[in-house]
Chains A and B, each alone.
Chain A
Amino acid sequence: MKNPLSTLLMLILVLTSCTGGPLSVTDGVVRTPDYDGAVVPFNIAPLNFCLDGAEYARAKVEVQGRSGSISVRAKRGRVMFPERRWHRLLASEKGNTLTVEITSAGQPSSFSFTVSPDPIDAYVTYRLIDPSFEVWHRIEIRERDVTGFRERILSDWHHTDNSCMNCHIHGQSRGDLSFFHLRGEHGGTILNREGTLRKLTLKADGMPVAATYGDFHPSGRYAVFTWNNVIPSLRTLGSHRMEVYDDASDLLVADFDENRLLVSPLTSATEAYETFPTFSPDGRYIYFCRADYVPVPDSVKQLRYSLVRVPFDAASGVMGDSIEVVWDASLQQGSASLPKFSPDGRWLLFCRSDYGTFPIWHRETQLLMMDVSTGVTRSPAVLKAPDASTSYHSWSSDGRWIAFASKRGDGMFGRVWFAHVDAEGNVATPFTLPQRDPEHDRLFLRSYNIPDLGAAPVPFDARTIGRLRKTLPAEPFQIKQ
């Protein structure tokens, strides 16, 4: 009989090595995450990855560029590069393609990635949630420095009595302009403007719920929101777990100087649903998604949102009197959501689903890129994921990178992905947010929700928010027609 201690040690060795089913296989070697063919910014954190299989537990991995290389040995299948040497190598390889050679007792393997000279904004904020249908528990908003592995908690359940909180949105990727909604008792919309924090009640008489989805005007004085009465329902077929829809919604503009909510009969019609508003980068238009009323949930498969716009005059704070259709849902046989402009205003990136308004539960959802000058829309093939939604995207401050959430890999847990966009709107092969422990995302049971790129860190943390929640009264807002 074998020594039980050695058996236990062997078992632990097997357990602690990177093992499991395939996520990405090329030339027989399973790497997770797979960075093959990706275009990455030169300032990105080390692209650590896992090699599956005992034969790769101590594999030698060499990243070769034109000017230098880094060589490391896998530790139980985990390949982790030293940060300083990594950054030195990538900084000297801008525009080059690097090859990663893997040699071990198993089959030798290699892959390559390209280093873009365009730096990515150093920060991305996201909400960590459980993929748990309609409830929340222990939510956190975090800010990650993507040039390394440092992560800060911006708001968490600990400091907010387990309150629900919605995602954190930057204005023009600025660290000193952002907001998020904190729900429940002592809640409100936390506005970070010029680095000053305010707590706002973006709800007035006649609004059944507070402001939900929103985005900043380029001036920072306004933000456009919709309030949405969100209804979660279950679905029964296959892996379509949920259908989330609104049974009422309207659009409004918040004026942060005058504490007013500006509404227009045009965007408050009961015979239409409005959602996911955003300003054009010049601030002259409000773009949003709009669907004609259909009875829900019975006709939810006929619920299709078009992409429309309405003029907005920032000087007077008045919306125009006509709605112009930019992407017609009935013609396109799809439903639009989450329109987001590139900072130069040339590209409009939005989600297209077969129907409905909640893309994360629609596996067919894909990102479409519209050339605003021509209205021509294309679907970047590299952003398509088989059987997994791709949504909740944001642009970097220079418009060269997008971040988005995708459930590719396991179909359940959203992860942060980045992709390079060139001046012609061509999107390169995306890559996932690297982690210090490359096995982290495989073992992590939470979803990264609404990744939003920021050029600078925001000036608050969870303690500040916890204190502010209890001590700062929420400022009321009044509706102005």
Chain B
Amino acid sequence: MTKARRYVPTACAVACAVALVVFFHVFYRAHLCHREQFSLFLWAPGPLAAYWTSPAPLARLVGDMLTQFLGLPFVGALIMSAVLTSLGVLVYRLFARWIGLWALVPAALAVLFETGRQSGLTYPLSSTLQWVGIVATLLTARRVSRPAGVGRAALGVVVLAAGIGLFGWGDWEKRAVNRPDMNVERMLAVDNDWHHGRLRQLERRLDRHASHPDRFDAYYRNLLLASQYHLGDNLMQHYQPFQLGLFLPVESTASYPIIYFSGELWFQVGDLTNAEHSALLGMLFSPNSVGSRPLMRLAEISLIRGDEAAAMKYLRLLDKTLLYHRWARMHMPQNRPKEVRRWVELKRTLLCTTDTVRAPMDIGVALRHLVEDNPDNVFAREYLYAFDLLGKDLDAFMDDYARFQPNGMPPQRTWAEAMLLWMTAHGGDERTHGDARRERMGRDIPPEVVDAFVSFTEQFRGLGSGPLTADSQMRQLQQKFGKTYWFFYHFAEMR
């Protein structure tokens, strides 16, 4: 029994620590990265001193200090494991005196409970550290107050008071119980791949989830395709929830990550007003209303705009962090290396050169404005075509294509398919005849697309006649043409 009492708790603690490392490193890594990205720990006297005027100062200070490392490979998982395992060990030691090995039960429950809560995006590490501190305080108070005596008791009271002062009265999240949400984790992982430019990994991740696609997947898939200039060739190869897969909403019902992620599109196409809007709102509604990642984005946006004063505001903040200090210095005017300067110049070529006043999230207007101002903005141009087509607005597409498609550039697959549809519908239309540009557009369509369209049209017109049932005809049509714009145009319905 004595041996068991000695080794079983140790073995349990080690097993728990290992399990937690594995869980956070293998299955919940993106969550840790995201939490780090939406926190900011400043090594500056003012902000450091401010901790001592807030509740649970030590827990908050240590918690926020550790959070800045959560995004580092292994380190983040090790930190989470260390904090949660320490809680388990301390809870065990608190109760073991009275209930022996049964103290493993409350210890395990405490670890499970706090692991669940740490799986949420809004529960800070400092809250678990508060529990760690409180239990450690109770243990210390018990130890120093033995053997009994007035002096010892007084010492115990002092320890308790100090513990409460340092760890007590913090912010306890309203949501009492939480558990890991692997959907959110997948979402964060997708974004993380995009953020770090791991495009192959992103593609693989999206492919793995292709059988259960959603708007979020479609958004990143389209970003990925457009970044490879393949949006027009592959638009219909993937799930498209109409225009909703092209952007993410910035609205009161959207969560802060979604609001923040919505800015990725705007940053890529060069609409910095919308990009800044998303970054600021995403940051504002995040748990700490601050974050290293949105600050970096805001600094980039300001640099591209040539707004050095605003950029310096953000860079100065990042300069006070351990992990982004170098990045900030690299982007300050006096230290900016050639590659940063070149990148900024490149991004500036995408910017609007004329002014408009419009409602936020006026997607079509924003994209058209970008392409009007800069016809070489391929990303925006492809998104504009896709926006028209996924809204089934063939007229708008043809107008935009005629206006913005550079001469001599053959249409990508989806654009060609859409053109055929429009031309069939407007065969005798005066808008086609006499319009040399549109006639030329028709000639640019590859013959294999025309052949496929003829075949599609035959089958489409034959629906409901012939020996096969309507269902099997439909199945055949879908099998052969399910990934064409023609099929989307005729059969896709918004649910």
Residues of A within 8 A of B (CB): 11-12, 14-16, 19-21, 75-76, 78, 130-135, 137-138, 232-241, 243, 297, 300, 387, 409-413, 437, 439-440, 442-443, 445
Contact = CB atoms under 8 A, between A and B. Distances in A.
Dominant SS at the B interface? Answer: helix
Contacts of A410: 309-310, 312-313
A237 B43 contact: no
23 contacts: A12-B43, A15-B319, A16-B320, A19-B316, A19-B319, A21-B308, A132-B281, A138-B289, A234-B357, A234-B360, A235-B355, A235-B357, A236-B355, A239-B305, A241-B277, A297-B358, A409-B309, A410-B309, A413-B313, A440-B46, A443-B46, A443-B47, A443-B316
A237 B277 contact: no
B316 to A, nearest CB: 4
Given A21-B333, A130-B284, A235-B273, A439 B46 contact: yes
Given A16-B48, A387-B309, 5 more contacts: A76-B45, A78-B45, A133-B277, A236-B352, A443-B47
Interface residues of B, number: 50
A20 B315 contact: yes
A443 B369 contact: no
Contacts of A78: 45
Interface of B: 42-49, 252, 271, 273-274, 276-277, 280-281, 284-285, 289-290, 305-310, 312-313, 315-317, 319-322, 325, 332-334, 352-360, 366, 369
Contacts of B353: 237
Given A130-B289, A235-B357, A439-B45, A15 B320 contact: yes
A132 B356 CA distance: 19
Given A11-B325, A130-B289, A133-B360, A236 B273 contact: yes
Nearest to A412: B310
A239 B47 contact: no
B371 to A, nearest CB: 13
Contacts of B321: 15
Nearest to B279: A132
A233 B357 contact: yes
Contacts of B369: 236
A78 B45 CA distance: 9
A91 B435 CA distance: 83
A130 B42 CA distance: 19
Contacts of B356: 235-237
Contacts of A21: 308, 312, 315-316, 332-334
Given A234-B273, A237-B355, A411 B43 contact: no
Nearest to B353: A237
A251 B290 CA distance: 39
Contacts of A439: 44-46
B357 A238 contact: no
Contact of A137 (B43, B284, B319, B352): B284
B309 A236 contact: no
Contact of A15 (B280, B310, B322): B322
A137 B357 CA distance: 24
Contacts of B359: 233-234
A443 B317 contact: yes
Contact of A297 (B310, B317, B357, B360): B357
B352 A132 contact: no
A282 B332 CA distance: 53
Nearest to A138: B289
B300 to A, nearest CB: 14
Contacts of B42: 443
B43 A15 contact: yes
